[in-house]
């Protein structure tokens, strides 16, 4: 399994990631686009993902929520541009905790010898917006400090 590559060049409002998966691209594409599959992997394990809207077509909108154990909810929404296919998914992405800060994400799926390389190109409105987004740790309380706090709270709340 190849490690995920992240490229965030200085001065360019963009983040590129790439990762190889041991599955054919049609299957990987399904995992990215079928709601019942998507909720099983997108986001850290300790978040429960629910999908409010998922209209996978040109101009269709989506919205989903990540909820942590403490009941904090993080909503995300956007619009699909062009008909999503294994050749590419283009969508806008906005964290509802920072309205108006929108990135445009392009995901491509390249099959090689039965494996699939997924590349995501996220373009932000400015370098500052990109850095703020990354600084916020995907804006979902992903920083270690919060994580330890959540773990502590989860232990305190215990097996309710």
**Residues binding another protein (CB under 8 A):** 1, 4, 6, 8-11, 15, 17, 19, 21-23, 26-31, 33, 37, 40-45, 55-57, 83-86, 131, 133-138, 140, 142-144
Shortest approach of another protein to residue 38 CB, angstroms? Answer: 9
* Residue number, 77 or 140, with CB nearest to another protein: 140
Shortest approach of another protein to residue 99 CB, angstroms? Answer: 20
* Residue number, 77 or 109, with CB nearest to another protein: 109
In the sheet with 14-21, reading across from the earlier edge strand, the strands are 5-7, 14-21, 115-123, 102-112, 88-95, 73-85, 61-67, 48-54
Helix, coil or strand: residue 31: helix
Shortest approach of another protein to residue 157 CB, angstroms? Answer: 22
Residues 109/116, Cβ–Cβ less than 8 Å = yes
């Amino acid at each position: 399994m190849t490690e995920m590559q992240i490229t965030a060049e200085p001065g360019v409002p963009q983040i590129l990631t790439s990762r190889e998966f041991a599955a054919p691209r049609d299957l990987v594409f399904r995992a990215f686009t079928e709601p019942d599959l998507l909720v099983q992997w997108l986001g850290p394990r300790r978040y429960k993902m629910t999908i409010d809207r998922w209209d996978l077509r040109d101009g269709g909108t989506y919205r989903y929520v990540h909820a942590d154990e403490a009941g904090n909810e993080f909503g995300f929404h956007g619009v699909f541009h062009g008909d999503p296919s294994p050749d590419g998914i283009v969508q806008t992405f906005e964290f509802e905790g920072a309205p108006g800060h929108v990135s445009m994400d392009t995901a491509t799926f390249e099959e090689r010898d039965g494996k699939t390389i997924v590349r995501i190109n996220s373009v932000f409105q400015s370098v500052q917006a990109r850095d703020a987004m990354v600084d916020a740790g995907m804006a979902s309380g992903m920083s270690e400090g919060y994580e330890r706090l959540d773990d502590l709270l989860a232990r305190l709340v215990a097996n309710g």
